[in-house]
């Protein structure tokens, strides 16, 4: 294919390289490139005395070559996932190319840029750089096409290769501006260039700046480590010198490599994955309207968006690090904010250091996931491990001041008699090499300095908002609630929920045990309405290995969170420590009452009703629910603009007749099972006689969250969900993942208290003890769910949106759940509304009438066990019995009868695969079809562990595969 034919005609710029790569990475069918991650080899070489020589560059190249096994290659085996090197700019080397009239060393900027190969497009792109630079007060002093050796590349890398250029920029010196100020202005210039290119329709694959700095320059590409020096002749030139070199060999997991995603980035090289990345990006974007700094002034608007579009998790982390570094923080300070160590109450550390981490925990959520990170600003170089320490990190220091850090020991051979210090980083630790000062700072020294640079401990202790009696179990419960069965049915409860889920949780303080898998219909296919929670599935960590154990790793796991974040992460002031600290996100009814009654003016709360009027019979078009959501968003916006810092989204008014509206902090009171106030129950104004249904809490929180983001108020406002439909651990996880700050599962509390009061629990216990056990089970279950995603802290999990939907339509998802995939489309607001109406009609049969208290026994449910008249199951007593008869008797006829039960049209009501059918087409001649004996040789049984299958099943499958000539794998 002629590369020129790929040039976009809609803009005056070409895109001859990267187009084929981008076509491969488009969102097609069920594939979305946004879900990709990578794992790699990382390291650095540095001279502590700051002596700049070519030997450091050569050692860096040898180091990355020795980590080739940590990278990956493409189908042609010569196209690597990416490799590169970051060094300090050798002024004398580049002055030869850009002329002697450059400013003094360190007072001019060097940029590296990937451009199209086609000359016309490349020329227009360079003109863009010059014009934009001139508009910001810079002068492009010259261009240099970087010498390369294309024959060093593999086929795929060569086909997608960009044109690689370097350019020098200079600017008149500003009074009092130091090198940090110059770097800051170069950062603004680079972000402006990126924004201008995007505005002109250029993708990052056709206009990308690997570096633009007065200190560092990056050489990288889509190649194997051994190809870097061959492809870039500069790197083997003896005149190219540096006192430090950061290197990286990429292993991209289930992703397509590209030139721009090779590492190092502008200041960071990363091994691992950031599991909270969606939330990190979203929270940083939500902060943008409120960011300010005298260091940037009005130029700060040129930096948005802070995270480059379509960037990887590593590139996004680099964007965050660069912003904090240019915003005035030191390299180690910025890194510690992004990837903090564990600092819980049981973790041994000084009070000053604990104050430092608590202060910054209230400023920014952690970028959580397995990570070994190397960062450099050209002056210093640092390395750090995540709080779990799930990536290797080793270092060695020689007697002449050569420091080597790498993903493994022995990555660079050093004479053993010259090594004076060596070690490995432990979980949450870091080292910092101050290149030029001769100092290597270990973890304790680095963090001791950070902890004492401000009185963080005092700021936290003086500004923390303590709520008396918070997180003590409620002391009062109603003795009985006559309409409890009515409320339970209205919110979708059944006997499975009370007997199989809530009873063990309240009795034992732990979730009940159950088998893997589910054979009930998918929520989108079920004839009976399922909870909105049932449409969502949590994703799992791609490369977190080994997984986090929330029991053994108790020290690094945390459910602590805050309400009241300050969105401006560029400032450091005592008021930013003014937060409500929650030990965990589950609020009892008493806790919620205390939160409502806070007397602090800056923590005023407002309750908004998440209910909608029941449509007339046969009118479930979604209009009533849509109008209620719009009203909910409007009231949330009014509260936020009015200075409210806590918005309580409550569905307690559901099932009552009255005017749904906002209730202020001093609103109406009502009965509450925790003895607290219930401001959301009763509304304002006269009753209008309409019956109100609950908006699904997940949808209500999503709507409020989206509106607050839209108006730039999300970060500073806590969203507390008072939810009647949330009772399982997974329900709580979904609400938190969508941004809820805390949850009050009021109806679950009422149900648990009722079970205890009627003596239905495993042991005789008080209502208070039962609710306490239930909350304990929620906490333990939430830690387990977080650990499956490789996330250690609730602050990182909250808002991370690590779920996907199955069976919800694009209109619903784009409006209320943006960023969450729903690959097959599906249902909308009208179906959700119809489900609420159907539950309400069923609930009316449970209302007390006169002296008749109404029925007390809830519907069977049948989700977790087959019950006649309950939920449909694919595996029934009949189907399982038939399968056993076929297996025991070896009767193929009986097996075919079993197969018909599973494979016939009834399966369409259960699974997605049941929706598939063969398209009619012309028959294939039988002689063109492989015989069965050959086809089965390609069969295999996947790696299923001994914990999931019995010994007999494993042996039977192994024997069968051996007889067929196929393959089996036990998974152990």
Residues catalogued as catalytic:
40
**What Rg do the C-alpha atoms of the chain give, in angstroms?**
31
Cα 205 from Cα 553, distance rounded (Å): 41
Distances (CA, A) of 273 to 37, 278, 706: 6, 12, 26
Give the C-alpha separation, 86 to 247, whole Å: 6
Taking the alpha carbons at both ends of the chain, their separation in whole angstroms is: 47
Q: Which residues, 6+ apart, have CB-to-CB distance to 742 below 8 Å?
A: 561, 563, 582, 585, 586, 587, 718, 720, 721
* 473 CB-side CA count, 13 A: 14
Task: At 918, list the tokens.
Answer: 């063969």
Phi, psi of 580 (to 5 degrees): -90, 120
Closest by CA position to 15, among listed 446, 327, 23: 23
* Cα-based distances in Å from 706 to 288, 529, 647, 660, 799: 15, 26, 14, 21, 11
Question: Cβ contacts of residue 398 below 8 Å, gap of 6+?
Answer: 414, 415, 418, 419, 420
Task: Give the rounded distance of the alpha carbon of 250 from its chain centre.
Answer: 21
DSSP state letters, 689-741: --BEEEPPHHHHHHHHHHHHHHTT-TTT-EEEEE-SS--SHHHHHHHHHTT-S
- Cα separation, 915 vs 926, whole angstroms: 28
Contact (Cβ atoms closer than 8 angstroms) between residue 276 and residue 797: yes
Pairing of strands 742-744, 718-722: parallel
- Alpha-carbon gap, residue 641 to 659, rounded angstroms: 23
- Number of neighbouring beta carbons within 10 Å of residue 439: 12
Residue 148 burial (CB count, 10 A): 18
Task: Bin 689: left if φ > 0, else alpha if -120 < ψ < 50, else beta.
Answer: left
CB 171 within 8 A of CB 137: yes
CA 654/CA 663 separation, integer angstroms: 15
3-state secondary structure 104-137: CCCCCEEEEEEECCCHHHHHHHHHHHHHHHHHCC
CA atoms of 91 and 344, how far apart (whole Å) = 46
Buried b (16+ CB within 10 A) or exposed e, 63-75: bbbbbbebbbbbe
Neighbours of 911 (CB within 10 A): 14
Query: SS3 of 758, please?
Result: coil
Instruction: Report d(CA 525, CA 530) in Å as an integer.
Output: 10
- Nearby residues of 48 by Cβ (< 8 Å), 6 or more positions away: 397, 401, 402, 403, 433, 434, 435, 436, 437, 438, 439, 440
What residues does 440 pair with on adjacent strands?
433
Here the tokens at position 565 are: 């974040």
């Amino acid at each position: 294919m002629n590369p020129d034919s790929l040039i976009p005609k809609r803009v005056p710029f070409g895109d001859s390289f990267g187009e084929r790569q981008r076509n491969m990475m488009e969102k097609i069918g069920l594939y979305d490139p946004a879900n990709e991650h990578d794992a790699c080899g990382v390291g650095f070489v540095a001279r502590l005395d700051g002596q700049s020589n070519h030997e450091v560059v050569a050692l860096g190249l040898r180091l990355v070559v020795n980590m080739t096994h940590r990278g990956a290659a493409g189908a042609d085996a010569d196209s690597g996932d990416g490799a590169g090197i970051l060094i300090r700019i050798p002024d004398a080397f580049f002055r030869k190319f850009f002329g002697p009239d450059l400013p003094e060393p360190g007072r001019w900027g060097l940029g590296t840029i990937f451009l199209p190969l086609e000359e016309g497009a490349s020329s227009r792109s360079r003109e863009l750089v010059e014009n934009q630079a001139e508009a910001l007060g810079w002068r492009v002093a010259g261009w240099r096409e970087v010498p390369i050796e294309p024959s060093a590349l593999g086929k795929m890398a060569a086909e997608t290769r960009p044109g690689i250029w370097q350019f020098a920029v200079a600017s008149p010196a500003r009074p009092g501006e130091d090198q940090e100020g110059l770097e800051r202005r170069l950062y603004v210039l680079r972000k402006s260039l990126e924004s201008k290119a995007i505005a002109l329709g250029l993708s990052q694959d056709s206009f990308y700046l690997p570096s633009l700095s007065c200190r560092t320059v990056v050489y990288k590409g889509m190649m194997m480590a051994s190809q870097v020096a061959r492809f870039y002749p500069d790197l083997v030139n003896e005149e190219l010198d540096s006192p430090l070199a950061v290197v990286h060999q990429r292993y991209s997991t289930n992703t397509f490599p590209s030139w721009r995603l090779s590492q190092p980035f502008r200041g960071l090289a990363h091994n691992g994955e950031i599991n909270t990345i969606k939330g990190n990006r979203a929270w940083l974007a939500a902060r943008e309207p409120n960011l300010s700094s005298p260091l940037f002034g009005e130029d700060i608007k040129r930096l948005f968006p802070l995270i480059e579009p379509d960037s990887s998790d590593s590139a996004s982390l680099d964007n965050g690090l660069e912003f904090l570094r240019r915003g005035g923080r030191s390299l180690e300070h910025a890194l510690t904010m992004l990837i903090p160590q564990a600092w819980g109450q049981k973790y041994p550390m000084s009070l000053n250091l604990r104050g430092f981490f608590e202060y910054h925990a209230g400023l920014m959520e952690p970028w959580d996931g397995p990570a070994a990170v190397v960062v450099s600003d050209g002056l210093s170089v640092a390395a750090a491990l995540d709080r779990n320490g799930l990536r290797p990190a080793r270092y060695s220091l020689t007697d002449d001041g050569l420091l080597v850090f790498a993903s493994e020991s022995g990555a660079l051979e050093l004479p053993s008699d010259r090594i004076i210090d060596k070690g490995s980083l432990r979980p949450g630790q870091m080292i910092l090499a101050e290149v030029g000062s001769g100092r290597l700072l270990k973890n304790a020294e680095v963090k001791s300095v950070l902890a004492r640079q401000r009185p963080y401990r005092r700021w936290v202790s003086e500004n923390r908002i303590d709520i008396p009696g918070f997180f003590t179990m409620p002391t009062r419960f109603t003795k009985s609630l006559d309409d409890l069965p009515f409320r339970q049915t209205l919110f979708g409860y059944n006997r499975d929920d009370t007997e199989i889920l809530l009873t063990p949780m309240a009795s034992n303080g732990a979730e009940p045990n159950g088998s893997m898998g589910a054979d009930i219909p998918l929520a989108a296919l079920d004839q009976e309405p399922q909870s909105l929670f049932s449409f969502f599935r949590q994703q799992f960590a791609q490369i977190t290995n080994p997984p986090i154990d929330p029991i053994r790793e108790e020290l690094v796991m945390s459910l602590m969170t805050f309400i009241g974040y300050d969105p401006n992460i560029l400032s450091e002031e005592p008021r930013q420590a003014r937060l409500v600290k929650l030990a965990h996100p589950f609020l009892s009814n008493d806790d919620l009452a205390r939160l409502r009654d806070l007397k602090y003016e800056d923590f005023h709360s407002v309750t908004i009703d998440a209910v909608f009027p029941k449509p007339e019979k046969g009118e479930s078009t979604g209009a009533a629910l849509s109008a209620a959501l719009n009203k909910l968003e409007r009231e949330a916006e009014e509260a936020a603009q009015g200075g409210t810092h806590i918005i309580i989204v409550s569905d307690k008014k559901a099932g009552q007749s009255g005017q749904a509206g906002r209730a202020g902090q001093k609103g109406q009171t009502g009965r509450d099972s925790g003895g607290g106030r219930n401001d959301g129950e009763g509304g304002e104004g006269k009753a209008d006689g309409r019956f109100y249904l609950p908006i699904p809490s997940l949808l209500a929180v999503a709507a409020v969250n989206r509106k607050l983001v839209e108006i730039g108020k999300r970060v500073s406002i806590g969203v507390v969900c008072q939810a009647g439909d949330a009772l399982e651990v997974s329900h709580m996880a979904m609400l938190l993942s969508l941004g809820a700050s805390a949850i009050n599962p009021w109806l679950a509390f009422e149900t648990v208290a009722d079970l205890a009061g009627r003596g239905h629990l495993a042991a005789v216990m008080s209502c208070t003890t039962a609710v306490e056990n239930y909350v304990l089970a929620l906490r333990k279950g939430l830690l387990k769910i977080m650990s499956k995603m490789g996330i250690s802290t609730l602050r990182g999990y909250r808002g991370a949106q690590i779920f996907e939907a199955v069976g919800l339509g694009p209109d619903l998802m784009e409006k209320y759940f943006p960023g969450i995939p729903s690959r097959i489309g599906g249902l909308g607001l009208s179906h959700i509304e119809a489900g609420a109406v159907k539950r309400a009609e069923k609930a009316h049969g449970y209302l007390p009438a006169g002296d008749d208290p109404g029925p007390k026994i809830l519907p069977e449910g049948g989700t977790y066990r087959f019950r006649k008249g309950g939920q449909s199951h694919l595996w029934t007593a009949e189907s399982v019995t038939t399968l056993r008869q076929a297996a025991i008797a070896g009767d193929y006829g009986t097996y075919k009868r079993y197969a018909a039960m599973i494979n016939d049209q009834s399966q369409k009501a259960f699974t997605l695969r049941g929706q598939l059918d063969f398209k009619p087409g012309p028959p294939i001649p039988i002689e063109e079809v492989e015989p069965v004996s050959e086809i089965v040789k390609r069969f295999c049984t996947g790696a299923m562990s001994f914990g999931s299958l019995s010994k007999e099943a494993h042996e039977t499958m192994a024997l069968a595969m051996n007889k067929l000539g196929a393959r089996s794998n036990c998974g152990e």
